[in-house]
Chain A
Amino acid sequence: MPELVVGDHKATETPALRSAGRAERRRYRAPPFVPLWALIGIAAAVALIGTYPYYGSNAYVLSLLGKFLCFAIFALSIDLIWGFAGILSLGQAVYFGIGAYFVALSLKINYALTHPTRYGGKFPDFMEWNGLTELPHFMTPLISTPFAVFCALSVPTLLGLLFGVITFKRHIYGVYCAVITLAESLILQEIIIEYQAYTGGFNGITDYSNFAGPGFLWFILAVVVVFLLIARALTHSRVGTVLKSIRDNDVRAEFMGYNVANYRIFVFCVSAFMAAAAGALYAAWVGIVSFLDAGPVFSIEGVIWTAVGGRGTLIGPFIGTFLVKGAEFFLSGALASWWQIIVGGLFIFVVLVLRDGIVGSIGNWIRKRKRGTTLHQLIEESDQKAHDRQLEWRPGGPPPTDEPVR
């Protein structure tokens, strides 16, 4: 039964099946932690992107590559909560934005120390334009970049924890969660614009020394690989199994004795951490951070990248991000506002037709060729059978059995 809920292999290790006979276990071979094709594919992609500075000459493409990688981490963070735990957050950019602003502020302050403003002030120019005469005291710790990076990673994670405790503990999720997170990012955006003396306001933070170079590209790639491994470990473990069961049927998971809220909070924190790291890398790579990077539109863009690539798969967010952003790069110039219509149509298309995204659809196709059914069909079938068993039950009769259906 759990095997069906998750459609994955580790389920053989859940307590219910642990007592099953040894023969049963021997017949089942768990897939490796990282399948061979994924290993080769990731290695090839890393090599291809990482060595671009040595064979390519286009600096713009180089900057785009780093940018896309940061966006892809952001999409991965959305995929973790949406694809694996069923929490749709429309405010993921809040964590991305906070991470980005901490790093950008720190870099800007350090830049200003060596590059005085026109009137000789040794603090960021946008603060001078807005009437400050010196660096605000509460910002002085940010002179230390490591401390800023620490803040960039820990503050969003704690915020995610706070948000999770407030909402998930009270069974607020689904639509309510989506709406509240949406409002959250809208308000953060307004705060950034209003307090321009501290945040750069409408213009954002620009003109600081960023790390756009081959070395930092390799660093971003390393972070990508580490995060992929973390995400794989998370979704491949028992925790991941429980998360997927929560996604598919949270009430049933609750009745099976799992503390649904705590699992949700945990994965939400991990996701917030990843989004924050993506933001921090983004700020350091691109050298410009604006209120848009914390706004609802960016959040939903991340959701659509994930949906196009395939939610519930770890490679999907990367493919989705590179495809959609790449297409935007090539087409938005030629198509102007028609590109926006394509994006809008993409939302509808993904929901109506390509429900599992590109990677998910390919996976379904392979699964269908191998086993003759898709995952959706399996889950629906098992739900139907469970339902039938419940209907057949009469008071006084034996309890509905729970034998494996497949």
Chain B
Amino acid sequence: MLQSIITQFMSGFSVVAILVIAALGLAIIFGVAGVINMAHGELIMVGAYTAAIVGKLGGNTFIAIPVAFVVVGFLGLIIERGIIQWIYDRPLETLLATWGVGIILQVVMKLIFGPELYYVGAPKILEGGFRMIGRLPFPWYRLFLIVVAILLLALVFYVIFRTNLGLKVRAVRRNRAISGCLGIDTARIDMTIFAFGSGLAGIAGAVLAPIKSVSTTMGFPYAVDSYMVLVLGGVGSLWGVLTGAALIGEAETILSFIFNNVIGRLLVFLFIVIIIRIVPRGIFGYYERR
């Protein structure tokens, strides 16, 4: 029993990685631009379809990642310029508008690609797995997900804390009016951030495509999970993303193993509500835009 829980704990790491990958783009958009992006799941879905097309054309996941970043990032740019830029001052209503965007994206993808499921294979070198302490083999692709999660986190940390753009982003997040007075084009920062976050969602879709069948409705659960990660970890903090994902991922894996999937999710939800009750801004949250 103990050994199998340890095994579950290990495989929980890949769930944590999936959560981090899915939530990073949202953390950027929600935490910095203050937009409640309900189309996040659909952006992930578009990324997954991009990966499916790249796969059909003979590419693999490694090629799909940059392609999905560009495609979905551009899509995010269009959404921002077309809709979001008018409603930054009404956060709750961005939720409704982006939900509408999500519906439209779903239907358009269904019209283009049809209702059937797509399957994307993992790259050749990542097939198979290795044996861990337990009896279950640990697939290479899961390890790859963990590596991708770490790299993406590092990338976002680098962009936010070590580049000129990141400096401006942090300034705008801290005080929009003053940043504007100091000559930062805040609208442009918002636009860039939205496109960057969308691009990250595209990467998430491309990376997650091989572990899940690609369909138009695949995104929504990821979006909800991402929001739970952010709510638990604290909006606007990258450490919050990591902490939230780690807590939710591990708790869900182990509780699902002990009870069942649904009870596991229910318990995790109650756990999140209790934590939120104690620290209303999330574990690492210290700031909320009103």
B92 at the interface (CB under 8 A from A): yes
- Residue pair A348, B100 in contact (C-beta under 8 Å): yes
- Residue pair A345, B87 in contact (C-beta under 8 Å): no
- Residue pair B86, A352 in contact (C-beta under 8 Å): yes
Interface bits B246-269 vs A (CB < 8 Å: 1, else 0): 000000000000001110011001
- Residue pair A191, B103 in contact (C-beta under 8 Å): no
A4 at the interface (CB under 8 A from B): no
**B87, B103, B108, B276 interface centre (most CB from chain A within 10 Å):** B103
Given contact pairs A170-B280, A191-B266, A194-B261, A182 touches B83 in the complex (Cβ within 8 A): no
Given contact pairs A180-B231, A344-B101, A351 touches B96 in the complex (Cβ within 8 A): yes
Interface bits B77-92 vs A (CB < 8 Å: 1, else 0): 0000001001100111
Q: Which residues of B contact A351 (CB under 8 A)?
A: 87, 90, 93-94, 96-97, 100
B107 at the interface (CB under 8 A from A): yes
B125 at the interface (CB under 8 A from A): no
User: SS class of chain B's interface: helix, strand, loop or mixed?
Assistant: helix
Q: Which of the residues B99, B101, B110, B290 comes within 8 Å of A337, measured between beta carbons?
A: B110
**A167, A176, A191, A346 interface centre (most CB from chain B within 10 Å):** A176
How far, in angstroms, from A180 to B227 measured CA to CA in the complex?
Answer: 9
How far, in angstroms, from A332 to B209 measured CA to CA in the complex?
Answer: 31
- Residue pair A176, B231 in contact (C-beta under 8 Å): yes
Q: Which of the residues A179, A190, A341 comes within 8 Å of B107, measured between beta carbons?
A: A341
B95 at the interface (CB under 8 A from A): yes
Q: How many residues of A are counted as interface, with CB atoms below 8 angstroms from the partner's CB atoms?
A: 40
How far, in angstroms, from A167 to B276 measured CA to CA in the complex?
Answer: 8
Q: Which residues of A contact B108 (CB under 8 A)?
A: 341
- Residue pair B96, A190 in contact (C-beta under 8 Å): no
- Residue pair A190, B265 in contact (C-beta under 8 Å): yes
Q: Which of the residues B95, B110, B230, B265 comes within 8 Å of A88, measured between beta carbons?
A: B95
- Residue pair A303, B96 in contact (C-beta under 8 Å): yes
- Residue pair A343, B36 in contact (C-beta under 8 Å): no
A307 at the interface (CB under 8 A from B): yes
Residue of B nearest to A178 (CB): B95
How far is the CB of B232 from the nearest CB of chain A, in Å?
10
- Residue pair A187, B265 in contact (C-beta under 8 Å): yes
Residue of A nearest to B108 (CB): A341
